[in-house]
Amino acid sequence: MVCLVSRSGRELQRYNNMGFRQVVGCIPYRYKEDVNGNMRNELEVLVVSSQKCQKLMFPKGGWELDESVEEAACRESLEEAGVVGIVEAQLGEWRFISKRHGTYYEGHMLPLFVKEQLDLWPEKHVRRRLWMSVGEAKEVCQHWWMKEALDILVDRLIPSQQQMEDIADLSDSN
């Protein structure tokens, strides 16, 4: 059962020991499928529009006292993007100042391997969601720290040329 209402208010909001508001973001991702439904090695990520304007970013929001960082990532992905899946190991932690409010934040980013995309979700009527390539996402994402997290995710998921050569060498020697 999915809750179709977003959490609101900041009564349970977490702050770090320096007074920075803690937020959690998530990079929902999947691999493209070919015409036969077979997974290809081409990564796609899901971005959402801001509630207040059409700027694009990854789902993110306040980390609350009654949830783990993984639970917050799942909740934000469900509320803002209407996707559920498997949360993976944290990509990192960033500190930044909100341009809009001039306040300090501590942002945590986690990947979410998407298993299901819902037709109805809490913020369906106030946000757009778009699947796109990593390159496209890096161009449109409004936050530098989210772009850095995306680079870390790509490095984690896509083997480098050297790793591919090492794998080929191991295969050839067997």
**122-158 confidence digits (pLDDT tens):** 999 999 999 999 999 999 999 999 999 999 999 999 8
Domains and CATH numbers, the chain: 21-173 (3.90.79.10)
Is residue 42 within 8 Å of residue 31, measured between CB atoms? yes
Angle formed at CA 41 by CA 79 and CA 116, multiple of 5 degrees: 25
Give me the sign of the Cα torsion angle 134, 109, 164, 39. negative
pLDDT averaged over every residue in the chain: 88
DSSP the chain: ----S----STTB-B-TTSPEEEEEEEEEEEEE-TTSPEEEEEEEEEEE-SSSS-EE--EEEPBTTS-HHHHHHHHIIIII-EEEEE-S--EEEEEE-TTT--EEEEEEEEEEEEEE-S--TTTTT--EEEEEHHHHHHHB--HHHHHHHHHHHHHHS--HHHHHHHHHHHHH-
User: What is the Cα–Cα distance from 63 to 70, expressed in whole angstroms?
Assistant: 10
Is residue 49 within 8 Å of residue 56, measured between CB atoms? yes
DSSP reduced 3-state for 70? helix
Residue with tokens 């870390």: 152
The model's pLDDT over 54-100, given as tens digits with 9 standing for 90+, comes to 899 999 999 999 999 999 999 999 999 999 999 999 999 999 998 77
Contacts of 81 (CB under 8 A, 6+ apart): 28, 46, 48, 59, 121, 127, 129
Percent of the chain beyond pLDDT 90? 71
pTM, two decimals, is 0.84
